[in-house]
A and B are shown apart, each in its own frame.
Chain A
Amino acid sequence: MDYVLHILILAAIYGVLAMSLELVLGRTGLITLGHAVVYACGAYSSAVLTLRFGVSASLGLLAGMALAGAISCLVALVSLRLHADNFVIATFGLQVAGHSILLNWIGVTQGPFGMPGIPRPEILGWRLDSSLDFLLLSYGIVGLAAVVLWRVGFGPLGRLLLAIKEDEVFCRSVGKNVFQSKLTALVVGSMLAAVSGSIYAHYATYVDPTTFTVNESILIISMVIMGGVGRLAGPLLGAAVLVALPEGLRFVGLPEQLAGNLRQILYGLLLILVLLLRPRGLIGRYAID
């Protein structure tokens, strides 16, 4: 039973992550290779602030969101102006540098040793001890994130973003602020990813840099592509499928390390196959292009 709950909670955490990336990838057509770093912003802010400074969980979460928003703002400022590939390059740099900071800023992050013993949070007197509590919390967050994303990604801004993707010059000619729209999508997406990271840190009670490598960024991208863009349910389904599917590999009985590699191969193959055979993903409204 706990095992099933665990899978469900992971699906929710990754669901929020995938939804937040869909806002960037699906609406603006920009691809970020650094989503694991903004995710880490949330996880590490919560870990460092609650462990070292005894700050409450909600404050840690807010700090993580602010940090993720600031970092993505910086990346957008330098890379969104000229060419879409500059954004890929800058976020890739962010990913490698971000992971290296987690690994090397030992005074704050404890480097490769990771940070154990992150306390379970308490929200308005409700202490989340059991997995069931976390299940409620994580699906509550999924709901909240869905509302935010519905407002941002599927309202006027979302329509404008889709129009920009079709014809950027035209949107500019009718007086729309193209840069600001993309920036908003990116910042909101990053802040939501930080929320997800914060929940993850409190749920796992342990964070270390190996969770936030480029492979994690790739996994989140695969989830979005797998589920499909243009619908909120798409990335949620993609996350659920990619969390649940490799669990089957557990029964093959490979050693842990090799099973990890096999899981990655599965993600990579699925990504290529979906792009080749079903470019709109499982339930996406339109294909990535």
Chain B
Amino acid sequence: MSVSYVAQLLANGVVAGSVYALVGAGFALIYSVSRFFHFSHAATFTVGGYAAWSLMALGTPIVLAGTGGVAAAAVCGLLLERFLYRSFRRRSASALVLLLASIGVYTVLENTIAMVFGNQALSLVQKPAVPGTSIIGARLTEVQLAAVIITLVTFLALQTGSKLTKTALLIRAVASNATLAAARGISLDRVSLVVFCIGSGLSGIAGVLTAMDVDIVPTVGMYPFMMGVVAAVVGGVRSVWGSVFGGYMLGIAQNLSILMVDARWTPTLAFLVMILFLLLRPTGFFGKSVRSTTV
């Protein structure tokens, strides 16, 4: 086992972790405000990837196509919140009903994409395989390197935004106490729109980056979504930064586990990690401790 092999696994872990961190952060952001398990988060991921693919197929340059993909995912989340979840909230539907509706949306979106684009794998970037850039013996392709950097820039922007803007303050207010926030005149509807837009956008970035790196199929969003959820559990479901941390940890841990176990067992291992966290530290690394169910 050489140093460069371990370095390669670490690098792969950071690449995978970037995707998990983006999906997990989006999931946690949406969950912190809307308080339901947004299952179609997996579908917005796919929407982002396929939108980018379509734009590139039409001859759009790669940067523009990627941006378009992210925008499509964000708009998709926005529309879902405005036209579906909002009408459910108006009927004071519970988190359970919203989850069920979200499951329905996921099924419809995924299969509509399959009917339009087909169930076969599509690859976005058709280029000959190149050796890639070497960093301490680990090789990353241009796309992977770009993915890592884009993710870091995204998180930096998110961090700056959450420090400086008033919107971020409103989001935190609703997340910490929705009733009190409403009493102070903060509109849940508007905050939800913003949150769904940003959260789905994050998922869309992950979708586009995945589509650029590997082939995409209509079910492509399910696995990163699951990993994003695990990342959120590890980091504390309501904590966006906890989920980012959880995502990177999960990606790196998964790839390092290849040293000991066959790679095909990684989803099962991730599940076991999640079970352990739910058992021993249900609020995650950074989550504040919560007292049972709120009445």
Residues of A whose CB lies within 8 Å of any CB of B are: 29, 31, 33, 74, 77-79, 81-86, 88-90, 92-94, 96-97, 100-101, 104, 168-169, 214-215, 218, 221-222, 225, 257-258, 261-262, 264-265, 267-272, 275-276, 279, 288-289
Contacts and interface: CB of A to CB of B under 8 A. Distances in A.
B187 interface: no
Contact of B268 (A101, A218, A257, A279): A101
Interface string B144-174: 0000000000000000000000000000000
A109 B117 CA distance: 32
Nearest to B218: A261
A62 B265 CA distance: 28
Contacts of B292: 82-83
Contact of B271 (A93, A218, A268): A93
B275 A265 contact: no
Given A221-B100, A289-B94, A86 B278 contact: yes
Given A88-B37, A218-B103, A289-B97, A78 B278 contact: yes
Nearest to A265: B111
Given A100-B267, A268-B108, A272-B108, 14 more contacts: A74-B275, A82-B293, A83-B293, A84-B95, A84-B293, A85-B37, A86-B278, A97-B267, A215-B107, A264-B108, A265-B108, A268-B103, A268-B111, A275-B100
Q: Is the interface of A mostly helix, strand, loop or mixed?
A: helix
Contacts of B37: 85, 88-89
Contacts of B272: 97
A224 B231 CA distance: 31
A235 B271 CA distance: 30
B264 A96 contact: no
A82 B271 CA distance: 18
B119 A93 contact: no
Contact of A88 (B84, B99, B107, B279): B99
A288 B274 contact: no
A81 B270 CA distance: 21
Given A257-B119, A271-B104, A214 B222 contact: yes
Please indicate which of the listed interface residues B37, B84, B270 has the most CB atoms of chain A within 10 Å of its own CB. Answer: B37
A262 B97 contact: no
B105 A268 contact: yes
Contacts, number: 135
Contacts of A74: 275
Contacts of B229: 89, 92-93
25 contacts: A29-B96, A83-B290, A84-B95, A85-B36, A85-B37, A88-B99, A90-B274, A94-B271, A96-B223, A215-B107, A222-B104, A258-B115, A261-B114, A261-B115, A264-B111, A268-B104, A271-B104, A275-B93, A275-B100, A275-B101, A275-B104, A279-B97, A288-B96, A289-B94, A289-B96
Interface residues of B, number: 48
A89 B101 contact: no
A104 B268 CA distance: 10
A212 to B, nearest CB: 14
Contacts of A92: 226, 229
Contacts of B99: 31, 88
B217 interface: no
Nearest to A224: B100
Given A78-B275, A89-B274, A169-B295, A262 B115 contact: yes
A277 to B, nearest CB: 11
A97 B271 contact: yes
B96 A31 contact: yes
A265 B100 contact: no
A276 B95 contact: no
Given A221-B100, A275-B101, A279-B97, A96 B107 contact: no
Contact of B267 (A31, A96, A258, A270): A96
Given A85-B37, A88-B37, A269-B108, A221 B278 contact: no
Nearest to A267: B107
A268 B107 contact: yes
Nearest to A75: B275
B87 interface: yes
Given A225-B100, A288-B96, A261 B111 contact: yes
Given A275-B88, A279-B97, A96 B104 contact: no
Contact of B233 (A89, A101, A265): A89
Contacts of B105: 268, 272
